[in-house]
């Protein structure tokens, strides 16, 4: 390959001599090169952004993963359906889905069949008491037979009823109190839920953060901050 110049009509035209092709104007080679580069770049972009596998990975990186979803996978077989249902219920309850995940984890670790270890008779994701199950038209035995995803319908039914009676859940602590002691929702830190020597205190003594013989709203806040600070600090944008 060699370069030559032609002088025509007072203009300098540069040529490149390519074997088997003869003289080709340099400007045409440059135009061809630019077009070729554009084709290569276009192909790379097309394969990167419209390839389902690659595009899916890029898209999924931008989707926030639900808090504690990995822990839920130990008991939940249909994670995508469970996740979507948690989000849908949270929208209806006007709370961040991370809050709902947190209280279910605190009460059951996402085991829908778990029975309260201290003999209260409570079962399931948010530890439904026998009387509560009856009010919802079911029983603890029936609740235990449900999958975590199936039991979410009753989680919503219960929390929606509490919300209607006591008002919106303004914090993660409020949501947890809806399960533990609804009358304590939006009360000050000194409000007592359980105290010695009651049976209720014995069943919930693990919530007594400072071990002073009573479980208060303040204890619930402290426990959630200690164990689930990320979720606790999640702001409720629906307020």
Any idea which fold 69-232 has? Lysozyme (1.10.530)
Cα 59 from Cα 48, distance rounded (Å): 12
The residue with greater pLDDT, 23 or 121, is 121
Q: What is the pLDDT of residue 223?
A: 98
Which residue ranges make up each domain of the chain?
2-61, 69-232
Q: Is 90 exposed, middle or buried (0-12, 13-18, 19+ CB in 10 A)?
A: buried
DSSP 8-state assignment for residue 134? H
Band of residue 59 on the pLDDT scale cut at 50, 70, 90:
very low
Give strand pairing partners of 4. Answer: 15
Percentage of residues in the chain with pLDDT exceeding 90?
A: 70
Tokens of 188: 């000050």
- Tens-digit pLDDT profile for residues 72-93: 999 999 999 999 999 999 999 9
Tokens of 152: 């979410």
Continuous segment of H or E residues that includes residue 4: strand 2-8
Band of residue 55 on the pLDDT scale cut at 50, 70, 90:
very low
- Tens-digit pLDDT profile for residues 22-52: 555 655 555 556 555 556 646 655 555 445 5
Q: What is the pLDDT of residue 100?
A: 98
What pTM did the predictor assign?
Answer: 0.75
* Beta-strand pair 22-25/2-8: unpaired
């Amino acid at each position: 390959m060699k370069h030559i110049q032609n002088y025509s009509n007072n203009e300098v035209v540069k040529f490149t001599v390519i074997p088997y092709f003869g003289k080709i104007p340099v400007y045409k080679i440059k135009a061809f090169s630019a077009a070729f580069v554009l084709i290569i770049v276009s192909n790379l972009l097309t394969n990167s952004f419209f390839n389902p596998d690659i595009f899916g990975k890029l898209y999924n990186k931008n989707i926030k993963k639900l808090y504690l979803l990995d822990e839920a996978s130990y008991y939940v077989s249909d994670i995508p359906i469970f996740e979507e249902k948690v989000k849908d219920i949270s929208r209806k309850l006007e709370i961040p889905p991370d809050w709902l995940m947190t209280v279910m984890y605190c009460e059951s670790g996402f085991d829908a069949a778990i029975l309260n270890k201290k003999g209260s008779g409570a079962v399931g994701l948010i530890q439904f008491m026998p009387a509560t199950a009856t009010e919802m038209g079911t029983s603890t035995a029936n609740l235990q037979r449900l999958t975590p995803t199936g039991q979410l319908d009753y989680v919503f039914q219960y929390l929606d009823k509490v919300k209607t009676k006591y008002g919106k859940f303004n914090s993660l602590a409020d949501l947890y109190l809806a399960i533990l002691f609804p009358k304590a929702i939006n009360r000050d830190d000194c409000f007592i839920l359980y105290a010695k020597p009651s049976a209720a205190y014995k069943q919930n003594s693990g919530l007594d953060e400072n071990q002073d013989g009573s479980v208060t709203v303040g204890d619930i806040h402290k426990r959630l901050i200690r164990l689930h600070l990320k979720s606790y600090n999640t702001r409720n944008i629906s307020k």
